[in-house]
Amino acid sequence: MKNTPSDPVPLLQELIRCRSVTPAEGGALTCIENLLSAHGFRCHRLTFREDGTPDVVNLFARIGTGSPHLCFAGHTDVVPEGPAENWTYAPFAAEIADGFIYGRGACDMKGSVAAFAAAALDYLRGAGGLTGSISFLITGDEEGPAINGTAKVLDWMRANGHIPDHCIVGEPSSVDRLGDTIKIGRRGSMSFLVRVEGRQGHAAYPHKADNPIPKLARLIDRISTAKLDGGNAHFDPSTLAVTSFDVGNPAGNVIPSRAEAKFNIRFSTEHSFASLQTWVDTQISVVRAEVGGAWSVSVSKGADAFITTAGPFVSLVQGAVAAATGIVPRLSTSGGTSDARFVKNFCPVLEFGPTNATIHQVDERIAIDELRATQSVYGRIIADYFSSAL
């Protein structure tokens, strides 16, 4: 690259031009690897696979060998662009217009990757030496199944002595203005599919059939109006959303033999996978005792709820963001899931990045001023981290 490595703009443009729609690497990890290795980082290209899932290429890069060890975790895979003709500028062209860089991944989250890389290189040049370590965990599987990405890289890191002391995940956490929000945790996610078997029959002779629809409808009414909890100091009340009710029946004069429904629970630390499964099983038992039927349920465990408790690391990052932006960020657990759910099993983790107004949208973009300001915030976090005694 002709430009200085501390300028995140050309780096982000280069990353956006890599068509790394999950799980394709698209050259994005090669770009980061070339940049970091040229500045002393030891890079490891890690490819993982599992039956029934695509191969995923990941990157781990580290400079330094000791503690304190600060890791930046992120991803260069992006969601599909959708109809390209709906974009003002080609989604992988990284055009600059009116002070913005346009392109898929500009905010989520190639912008954060570029900003942190630039901030880290600036720090290394200016510090005159590093006491401790800086590392990058960059996956190509965050927007996909998340099976062959961060979780397996972390296992490799543990096996090879690379677990950090603390981690920043570069998710676009800011809502209205850069610096207004830090994610200190996430709700858990758990999905259920409930099926009721009946007996098919003619709608004119319902007594000769066994209609599963009213049975399942009674359960759905019961659980969709239930209060799971009242929330707590860090989490809003848990929620249950019914996402599907299907009988696979195109005929208007036939009682179907089967009905099934899907629902998702987003839950706080008031619950666990086991407690929620027990709760759902109890609701089914109550309804089954009332109306009978042959019931079955299958469960998909998405992510457990977690919180990074208040302490020196949270205070340091919150203070650095406030010093760099003039805003005291709120500490939030809102939103869906992220790869922080894997990192939290190994070290304290926070999420911080630019505003998220256009993520996954047509004309995804980031203001150049915001990109450079994000670099400045990361730079302040790095400097404060290595000058403190966490």
Residue 215 near residue 293 (C-beta atoms within 8 A): yes
Q: From the candidates 14, 81, 108, 142, which is the catalytic residue? A: 142
Closest by CA to 88, choosing from 105, 73, 75, 100, is: 100
Is 144 strand, coil or helix?
coil
For this structure, is 77 an active site residue? yes
For this structure, is 369 an active site residue? no
| Alpha carbon distance 259, 339 (integer Å) | 35
User: CA-based diameter of the chain, in Å?
Assistant: 86
For the chain, how many residues are written?
Answer: 390
| Alpha carbon distance 287, 281 (integer Å) | 10
Q: From the candidates 77, 108, 141, 370, which is the catalytic residue? A: 77
Pair type for strands 365-367 and 239-246:
unpaired
**Helix ranges restricted to H, the chain:** 8-16, 28-37, 110-127, 150-159, 212-224, 273-291, 312-325, 340-343, 368-387
Structure tokens at 75: 């991803």
CA 254 to chain centre: 44
| Alpha carbon distance 198, 293 (integer Å) | 7
Residue 89 near residue 364 (C-beta atoms within 8 A): no
Residues 6+ apart with CB under 8 A from 262: 191, 192, 193, 194, 242, 243, 244
Active centre residues (catalytic) = 77, 142
